[in-house]
Amino acid sequence: MKKTVSVALTLVFLLGLSVSGALAYTFNDNTLVQNWNQGAAYGGGAWQDVIGDTNVFDTFGANLSGNTFTIFTNWNPSKDGDLGYSQVKTADLFIDVGCNGTWDFAVRLDTAGQGNVYANPLYNTSNDIFAPLTSLIYGGKYNEASPTFAPVEATSAATGSTSVVWTLGSGGLNNQVAVDLTGLASPYCFFWGTATCANDGFSDKVPLPPSVLLLGSGLLGLGLVRWRRQG
């Protein structure tokens, strides 16, 4: 009996790993970031979807198709440093496998073709980078329920690379960046601060595909039926 159920659960896990990237997911940008300046809240520490120039920083959402994670945004790497501050550049994409509160990977998105990948990265937050600059307004924190400074820049040595493809829209707006996330198994959580100032943060959770859950419950049911018959 124990062996039958164990085998069923093992099959569920393996199937989850193999097909988790085979289905498409759509995510909307509902993440709020907090007005922050010099490490202190101002303006009531308001939580907003976009802080600053929405034509520059706005991120709209993302799709997951197969292993390709595509973000739709008005930001693009050509804007790096052109806002008067060299520190303002494309943020790295951070990924928490298992959604346990630890950033397991970061992917550098400011280059086309191949982007560096960092495993268990050390990183700077938006507060690390911009708190010393007295004149800047930036999105210092995200996660309203448990405010956390936004991770935006991996600082440790790269451990690999992956495909990063930018497609730019007209007038520098309506851009998209497609990132190959082959090897990740659902569920995982992600965060992207758009730019290193994190004026628009984007986060969500990639769940286990519903079809895998249904298949898993079916396999488990078969195991239980067999156990009852043996009993």
Q: Which domain holds residue 3?
A: 1-20+210-231
Residues 216, 125 share a domain: no
pLDDT for res 131:
82
- Amino acid making up residue 109: L
Number of helical H runs and strand E runs in the chain:
4, 16
Coil, helix or strand at residue 187: coil
Number of separate domains in the chain: 2
Q: Residue 11, exposed/middle/buried by CB under 10 A (0-12, 13-18, 19+)? A: middle
Q: Do both 63 and 165 map to the same domain?
A: yes
CB 51 within 8 A of CB 138: yes
Same domain, 38 and 148: yes
Shared domain for 87 and 16, answered yes or no, is no
Type of residue at 25: Y
Q: Are residues 73 and 178 part of one domain?
A: yes
User: What pLDDT does residue 173 have?
Assistant: 84
pLDDT at 178: 97
The reply to whether 117 and 57 lie within a common domain is yes
> Could you tell me the mean pLDDT of each successive run of 10 residues in the chain, 231 residues long?
33 31 65 75 68 84 94 93 90 97 97 95 94 80 91 97 94 91 92 95 87 41 45 55
The answer to whether residues 99 and 12 belong to one domain is no
Q: For residue 27, which of 58, 83, 70 has the smallest C-alpha distance?
A: 70
What's the confidence (pLDDT) of residue 217? 42
Under DSSP, the state recorded for 100 is S
Q: Write out the DSSP string of 131-155.
A: TT-TT--EEEEE-TTS-EEPEEEE-
| pLDDT in the model for residue 15 | 28
Closest CA to 188 of 111, 107, 109: 107
CB atoms inside a 10 Å sphere around CB 218: 12
